[in-house]
Amino acid sequence: MGICHLVNGCLFEFGENCNIRREREMIIRNEKTDDYRVVEEMIKEIFWNLSVPGCNEHYFAHLVRNSEDFIPELDFVLEEDGKIIGSIIYVKAKLVAMDGTEKEILSFGPFTIHPDYQRKGYGRKLLEHSLEAARKLGFDTIAIWGNPENYACYGFKNCKRYNVCIDKDVYPVALMVKVLDEDALEGKMWKYVESPAHEMDESGFEEFDSSFEQMEEGYKYTQELFYIYSRSNVLR
């Protein structure tokens, strides 16, 4: 089996005897309309039975592109040799301080890397590219719901470290925050308010999903992890 290394946006594959090298072309670009279906199929494959039996993340991706909070400039796909293997979608959110001050921030999701390409550096490359693009647009804070074990390595910290709650003294374990400017949230207590885009109208889900490959609902141990993380708060 060969060994893969990601270097400066190109993946180099070395053969068992290190005498064969193939450079794969990796491109990160904005998503196009023609990509929507491919991305949605990938999202369904990745999220199916991951957090709950079945999933609706592909439907959310379908709907969110029509939201006022959707940011096309921060909607990226990652291609390798012309094949889409990753995607990240951003929306606007906000923080509200105790004094009424509002701060526009970002959230993202779904953030996906095809299973065949996970744990090889692609996710980091895509995320870092999107964060730099967000910085250039003037954003300095990102808040997401996610497994801390997946995001701490990217510099995300629990919301309590930045005094960001969802209600008075409620700091969910799964609410992760990353600042692109260390002083971005200094000196205030904040409440996280996610985009209304997350309030999905489920009425069209069955019709939408019927055109996708039908998959069997079942149990994965990750559903128990989701149950624990999504119901846990940091107390101190």
Model pLDDT for residues 130-140, shown as the tens digit of each residue? 999 999 999 99
pLDDT, residue 58, reads: 98
Interval 52-60 mean pLDDT: 98
Query: Is domain 27-199+219-230 in CATH 1.10.1370.40, yes or no?
Result: no
Query: Which neighbouring-strand residues pair with 77?
Result: 29, 87
pLDDT, residue 22, reads: 52
Weakest-pLDDT range from 8-12, 145-149, 181-185: 8-12
Segment 153-189, tens digit of pLDDT: 999 999 999 999 999 999 999 999 999 999 999 989 9
Q: How many CA atoms, within 13 angstroms, populate the side-chain half-sphere of residue 195?
A: 27
Task: pLDDT band for 23, please (50, 70, 90 cuts).
Answer: low
Q: Do 6 and 123 form a contact (C-beta atoms < 8 A)? A: no
Instruction: Name the residue among 113, 103, 114, 72 with its Cα closest to residue 90.
Output: 72
Q: Does position 124 have pLDDT exceeding 60, yes or no?
A: yes
Mean pLDDT, the chain, as a whole number?
92
Helices 57-64 and 36-47 sit at what angle, rounded to 10 degrees?
Answer: 150
Weakest-pLDDT range from 15-19, 25-29, 71-75, 213-217: 15-19
More confident residue, 35 or 11: 35
Q: Please give the Cα distance from 40 to 110 (Å, whole number).
A: 10
Task: pLDDT band for 11, please (50, 70, 90 cuts).
Answer: low
Dihedral angle sign, alpha carbons of residues 59, 63, 69, 73: positive
Backbone angles phi, psi at 121, to 5 degrees: 95, -5
Helix (H, G, I), strand (E, B) or coil at 108: strand
Query: Which neighbouring-strand residues pair with 143?
Result: 177
Q: Please give the Cα distance from 17 to 1 (Å, whole number).
A: 10
Q: Please give the Cα distance from 87 to 44 (Å, whole number).
A: 12
pLDDT, residue 10, reads: 54
pLDDT, residue 169, reads: 92
Cis-peptide, bond into residue 172, ω within 30° of zero: no
pLDDT, residue 24, reads: 76
More confident residue, 236 or 203: 203
- From residue 37, alpha-carbon distances to 24, 42, 56, 212 in Å are 24, 9, 14, 9
pLDDT, residue 95, reads: 98
Q: Does position 191 have pLDDT exceeding 90, yes or no?
A: yes
